[in-house]
Amino acid sequence: MAISKNNQGIQKLLSVMKKMIREVNDKEICNKLEILVSSEKEDIPPHMIKDLLESPLTFDASKVPEPYTQYVKHYIYMVKREERLNQKKEELKVKKEKEEESKKSKKKTSQKKTQPKNG
């Protein structure tokens, strides 16, 4: 593990995690990581941070040395949660669009039935 005075790798991870805060627990974990960054002299190697940020779902958190493992695991959890939320949003959007389509087609059908027949 590389020694870094300003822990650039952890700072980058912390920055990304802060943007993903959704729960009180997330904020607490980010605060703890921030405290750790200020007292820890070691950093996560840049190639690990790059791999983690580029492919969090396939990243092996056990590769990350202590005391950072738990924070990396929480970051991966946050990414998975975001994906689930985005998927649910998309499903709701599609459902709403189908409902609107259905309402429009019912309206057209009822209008056709109420029109007088010329014959």
> Which residue did the predictor score with more confidence, 87 or 6?
87
Q: Each residue of 37-84: pLDDT tens digit?
A: 888 888 889 899 999 999 999 999 999 988 999 999 999 999 999 999
For residue 1, pLDDT beyond 60: no
Report yes or no on 38 lying in a domain.
Answer: yes
Report yes or no on 110 lying in a domain.
Answer: no
Report yes or no on 54 lying in a domain.
Answer: yes
Report yes or no on 45 lying in a domain.
Answer: yes
Give the pLDDT confidence score for residue 115 in this predicted structure: 61
For residue 118, pLDDT beyond 70: no
Q: How many domains does the chain have?
A: 1
Average pLDDT score over the chain: 86
Give the pLDDT confidence score for residue 102 in this predicted structure: 82
| CA atoms lying within 13 Å on the CB side of residue 81 | 12
CA distance 38 to 41: 8
The residue segments making up the domain with residue 58 are 8-89
Give the pLDDT confidence score for residue 104 in this predicted structure: 78
Q: Each residue of 98-115: pLDDT tens digit?
A: 888 887 777 776 666 666
Alpha carbon of residue 72 to chain centroid: 14
The model's confidence at residue 4, banded by pLDDT at 50, 70 and 90, is: very low
CA distance 78 to 57: 10
